[in-house]
């Protein structure tokens, strides 16, 4: 049977492990661990991304800070209850992980160290804005289905021409997109007046496809 989750949510990242493994949770007797991996951009910057990995994938692999690692899997979301409100938490869920066997392969992998493909539906009205430097941006929230009636809710950001196109999308529209996962630091002002430094994760869209024959517009157009 073809795994539909792989077809709708696929991630490959290559980078250096940042910290030690930390136990996360156990499910059906299987333990899962968290760590962060530093993934380089084409610029001099890099993204530090959270990874969740099963103990099953860690057999015969001693994951340590500083080692180069390839992670293949999905970008997943879950809600965490923090200070009286729900917070959307993202993590790269590893379905496979390995250490590149040679420097030559590692060099090739680092040419495209951060790739994601999502096939999902707009689940929140897009928000179009411009930066102080005049750059056009549209923020999206994409629902990507997975088995057992579950979905992952992935924040995405489109730029320039893609931003102008995404501004017109409606809740329920079906899109496919390609891009990379990025981390972004920001400051959050708390109720007590203090400012807290936080990190947000989102998908930066490089290419997208609008699935015209599977969206909420056809039904609406017929009713109008």
Choose among 146, 174, 159: nearest CA to 206: 159
Per residue in 113-137, pLDDT tens?
A: 999 999 999 999 999 999 888 999 9
Residue 216's pLDDT band (boundaries 50, 70, 90)? low
Query: Where in the chain does DSSP place strands (E)?
Result: 9-17, 22-27, 30-40, 46-54, 68-82, 85-98, 114-122, 127-130, 136-146, 150-159, 174-189, 195-210
Give the residue from 119, 21, 4 showing the smallest Cα distance to 61: 21
pLDDT band at 224 (very low <50, low <70, confident <90, very high): very low
Q: Which domains does the chain have, with CATH numbers?
A: 4-223 (2.40.50.140)
pLDDT exceeding 70 applies to what percent of the chain?
92
Tell how strand 150-159 and strand 195-210 pair up.
parallel
132-151 mean pLDDT:
92
SS in 3 state form for 165-184? HHCCCCCCCEEEEEEEEEEE
- Predicted pLDDT at 100: 93
pLDDT the model gives residue 217: 62
Six-digit token pair at 103? 């420097």
User: Cα-flanking dihedrals φ and ψ of residue 218, to 5°?
Assistant: -60, -45
Tell me how far apart the alpha carbons of residues 9 and 72 are, in angstroms, rounded to a whole number: 11
| Predicted TM-score (pTM) of this structure | 0.89
CB 94 within 8 A of CB 71: yes
Q: Is residue 77 a contact partner of residue 181, using CB atoms and an 8 Å limit?
A: no
Chain segment 167-201, per-residue pLDDT in tens: 999 999 999 999 999 998 887 777 788 888 888 99
> What digits encode the pLDDT tens for the residues 83-107?
667 888 999 999 999 999 999 999 9
């Amino acid at each position: 049977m073809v795994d539909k989750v792989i077809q709708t949510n696929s991630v490959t990242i290559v980078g250096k492990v940042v910290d030690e493994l930390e136990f996360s949770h156990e499910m059906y007797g299987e333990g899962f661990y968290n760590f962060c991996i530093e993934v380089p951009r084409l610029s001099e910057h890099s993204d530090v991304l959270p990874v969740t990995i099963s103990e099953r994938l860690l057999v015969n692999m001693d994951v340590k800070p500083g080692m180069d690692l390839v992670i293949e899997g999905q970008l997943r979301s879950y809600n965490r209850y923090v200070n009286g409100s729900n917070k959307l938490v993202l993590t790269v869920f590893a379905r496979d992980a390995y250490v590149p066997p040679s420097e030559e392969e590692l060099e090739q992998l680092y040419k495209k160290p951060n790739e994601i493909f999502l096939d999902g539906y707009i689940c929140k009205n897009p928000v179009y804005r411009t930066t102080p430097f005049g750059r056009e941006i549209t923020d999206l929230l994409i629902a990507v289905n997975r088995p057992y009636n579950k979905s992952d809710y992935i924040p995405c950001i489109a730029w320039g021409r893609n931003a102008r196109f995404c501004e017109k999308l409606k809740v329920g529209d079906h899109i496919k997109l390609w891009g990379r996962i990025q981390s972004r630091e920001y400051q959050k002002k708390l109720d007590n007046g203090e400012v807290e430094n936080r990190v947000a994760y989102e998908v930066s869209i490089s290419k997208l496809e609008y699935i015209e024959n599977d969206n909420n517009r056809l039904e609406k157009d017929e009713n109008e």
